[in-house]
Amino acid sequence: MQEQDKALIAQAALAYVKPGMTLGLGTGSTTRYFIDAVGKAVDEGLKIEAIATSIETEEQGKRLGIPMRQLRDVEQLDLVIDGIDQIDEQFQVIKGGGGALFREKLVALQAREVLYLADSSKFVRQLTGPLPVEVEPFGQTHVERLLADKGISYTHRETAGEAFMTDGGHLILDVALDRVPDVAHFVRELKSWSGVIETGYFERQPDHVLTLEHGNIKLLAHPTLRSGGGIV
């Protein structure tokens, strides 16, 4: 997605933020634009509270004067707005390109409504991955052996030539899905392996996706919501 497109979608998402909301703030390049827009609105008088999905997001929110709270202190969030890596025709989602999948998933599971921001390139007929898999370092070798036994390839995520570490101190394996016929079933198996903390397959599907098609903002609803309903 071009930076201008990210900014346009992020600005459009601000229309769904209502006074008094407890808002989940995602992590990633598109969401950074959205958080900037929220910060400006707060400075102009918008009253909301926010939960961050990463240390990076929390620091950005605090710099902008957005009132930040902790997830443990909130029973339910009104709305989560976040970016997306891939979504199929059934609204199955892969996230975690920014490495915040564990916290993003927990925040999404506690939300009344989830709105994701995506350009048209994120939409696919079926999920192709890679699938981020967050792994406890002590269990890395064990998980890699199990993947190798299944003939499934993966890469070690790195940044600046060093192993990428999540906010929780975990590693990420980006797992290929070309030999995985049923991603949901594969994820259930992955999560039963000792050493796997979480995956980037989001069981909590989005209620809506905000996208840009031919220069126009478009709001897409989950199949179960296409008759109306929801906050958005």
Structure tokens of 25? 């703030």
Which of helix, strand or coil describes residue 152? coil
- Distance (Å, rounded) from C-alpha 208 to C-alpha 219? 7
Known catalytic membership, residue 198:
no
Q: No. of H helices and E strands in the chain?
A: 6, 16
Query: Cβ of 193: how many Cβ atoms within 10 Å?
Result: 14
> Phi/psi at 175 (nearest 5 deg)?
-100, 130
- In this structure, what DSSP letter does residue 77 have? B
Q: Catalytic residue among 104, 113, 134, 198, which? A: 104
State the pairing for strand pair 49-52/22-25.
Answer: parallel
Q: What ranges in 110-190 are assigned the alpha helix state H?
A: 140-149, 183-190
CA torsion 23-26-31-36 (nearest 10°) is 50
Read off the amino acid at residue 26. Answer: G
| Cα three-residue angle 145-147-151, rounded to 5 degrees | 110
Q: Which residues are catalytic?
A: 104
